[in-house]
Amino acid sequence: MSFTEIVFYAFSAIMVVAALGVISARNPVHSALSLVLTFFATAAIWMLLEAEFLAITLVLVYVGAVMVLFLFVVMMLDINITQMRAGFMRFLPFGILVALILAVQMILVVGPANFGLDVAGFASPVEHAADYSNTKELGRVLYTDYVFPFEIAAVILLVAIVAAISLTMRRRPQTKYQTPGKQVMVKKEDRLRIIKMQTEEKQ
């Protein structure tokens, strides 16, 4: 077994254990943190596939932004854990069935036979040289050959912006807040009034 294979199996084991932790942890915060570990292990496996840009993007976007948002929401919600776990045994057979169907579908679709690869003699691709840049290769095709899907990605992001704003934006007229511009513009005459009055006699 080569060193790369050992690293692959180590990270795969971490990923499977962490993924089991996501669905079995009692505390939702532990579950979210297990998901972070799963993403890290996945990033390491992508790195082994020489997809360095995707691996770093996974850490940057998912671990850095999405999971922070997940953790944030999980910590804020009052999730009733006992109520959530109530129907576990009842839904378990159905869940296993759905998972099996999903797994079979994925194996059928992304199996090596669909890409013209020989299953029996599954040859590993040739390793690239030390100066190979995956980011460069990605950039060369993404903005030329795949320019249409790239623009579609922009439209999808635009839809996400509009959807997030229209779903969660609410005006709160009752909230009190300061307007710093007005505060700065205030002059002495607006606030201070000097009143002339008689001094009182000394007694």
Partner 1 sequence: MLENYLPVLIFMCVGLITGLVMILLGGFILAPRKPNAEKNSPYECGFEAFEDARLKFDIRYYLVAILFIIFDLEIAFLFPWAIVLEDIGIFGITAMGIFLGILVIGFIYEWKKGALEWE
Tokens of 136: 């460069």
9 part of the interface to partner 1, by CB under 8 A: no
Residue recorded with tokens 């790369």: 4
CA distance 33 to 145: 38
Residues 113-152 touching partner 1, rule: CB under 8 A, are 127-130, 132-136, 138-140, 142-144, 147, 150-151
Which of 89, 155, 184, 185 is close enough to bind partner 1 by CB under 8 A?
155
Which of 22, 37, 48, 59 is close enough to bind partner 1 by CB under 8 A?
48
CA distance 57 to 45: 13
CA distance 142 to 153: 11
CA distance 2 to 88: 42
Q: By CB under 8 A, name the binding residues for partner 1.
A: 4, 7, 47-48, 50, 52-53, 57, 60-61, 64-66, 68-69, 72-73, 75-79, 127-130, 132-136, 138-140, 142-144, 147, 150-151, 153-155, 157-158, 160-162, 164-165, 168-169, 171-172, 175, 177
